[in-house]
Copies of this chain bind each other. A is one copy, B any other.
Amino acid sequence: MLDLEDVLAARERVAETARHTPLDYSHTFSAMTGADVHLKLETFQRTGSFKIRGATNRIATLSEEEQEAGVVTASAGNHAQGVALAATRIGVDSVIVMPEHAPVSKVEATRNYGGEVVLHGDDYDAAAEKAHEIEREQGRTYVHAFDDYRVMAGQGTIGLEIMEDMPGVDTVVVPIGGGGLISGIATAVKAKEPDVRVIGVQAAGASSVAESLRKGERVELDGVDTIADGIATRTTGEKTFEIIQKRVDEVVTVSDDEIAVALTTLLERGKTLVEGAGAVPLAALLEGTFDYAEGETIVPCCCGGNIDLNVLTTVIMRGLVETGRYLRLRTVLKDRPGELERLVEIISEHRANIYAIEHDRASRDIAMNDAEVELDLETRGPDHVDALLAGLREHGYEVEVLV
């Protein structure tokens, strides 16, 4: 099994390609939770996520012949970029198989890091099959994304950095997809200081580890559904599951809405972008999904920041809606002069800002003389939304909240 020596050995190798990322005190999250919160910001890591650590340790420890033959892997996201850059820096040739409809930005990034990209198949499974075919045919080494001790050891170097930069840490909170990150971190942290809690967080729509722990055996989900694509895995690894069972104190889950709120809060208040997977530890902290004491020192591991900007705009909207900061509603007006003005006046009295108004006389759902109005509003929070809706209803409007 993996032990501290492996992680310590990984450290030097990893230091050549990966950054020692900052551990930043977060006034915002401390004020919101009463804990002493320090964010481990792997979002500022090279390639935008921690994956370069494990890939570096795996490729650097290959034999000379293996290095000469090159590596291959399959990935739709961060692992692809990590392997590509790690291989390039070490001077090893890499082939990365990505599903045909992988986001253009991730394909381009992987190419820019020096990986040869092969687009194949509709999903990750098809791409992985192709990658194993290339492994056999070309004699390349397959770099697994998580179920590999040398990969885990590389990720574990994050645990070493946390223990050094924050010796008094009480709790480390880590996202779980396949389990490579938390296996490495838990191994390092528990070996250094067995009393430090290690808490794993999964997306509720991809919670194979949480379910596996409940059943006492590794389960494979039929499907996954979450905005945190970096941890949207149907199952954990055999090796990682064993380590999680032994070294992780607790595994919890958070919803996509909770993830959106956490991501949006960090962006707005901390000016720092993380991807969905990088926001799950913050989501668990904000929602009180695990217990903690007042003033406890907590390190959420924000593991990456590679979020497609189109997805980001959707997540931001969701975060604003969830926190009562954005409201879209529909109502019906008598279609006569002054009616819209009256509605706008009421909204203005409640000090909500109007972003957009759509005024439609032709909707088929309403009576001939009425007009449907859709409004996009900026609001101050859940109480403000409630007060505004009550105010409109008091004035006789039937109001439907759209998002």
Contact = CB atoms under 8 A, between A and B. Distances in A.
A18 to B, nearest CB: 13
B273 A271 contact: yes
B310 A355 contact: yes
A103 interface: yes
A246 B118 CA distance: 58
A180 B301 CA distance: 39
A402 interface: no
A288 to B, nearest CB: 22
A325 B379 CA distance: 32
A104 B105 CA distance: 34
Nearest to A310: B355
Interface string A39-69: 0000110001000000000000000000000
Interface stretch (A170-178, A232-240, A311-319, A330-338): A311-319
Which of A267, A273, A309, A326 has the largest number of chain B CB atoms within 10 A? Answer: A309
B379 A104 contact: yes
A154 to B, nearest CB: 21
Contacts of A264: 309
A382 to B, nearest CB: 13
A378 B313 contact: no
A380 B108 contact: yes
B44 A271 contact: yes
A305 interface: yes
Nearest to A356: B310
Contacts of A284: none
A378 B320 contact: no
A309 B320 contact: yes
A310 B325 CA distance: 10
17 contacts: A44-B271, A101-B353, A103-B353, A103-B378, A104-B351, A104-B380, A267-B273, A267-B309, A271-B272, A272-B272, A272-B273, A273-B273, A310-B320, A310-B355, A313-B313, A313-B316, A313-B317
Given A104-B380, A267-B309, 14 more contacts: A48-B271, A101-B353, A103-B353, A104-B325, A104-B378, A105-B268, A271-B274, A272-B272, A309-B319, A309-B320, A310-B320, A310-B355, A310-B378, A313-B317
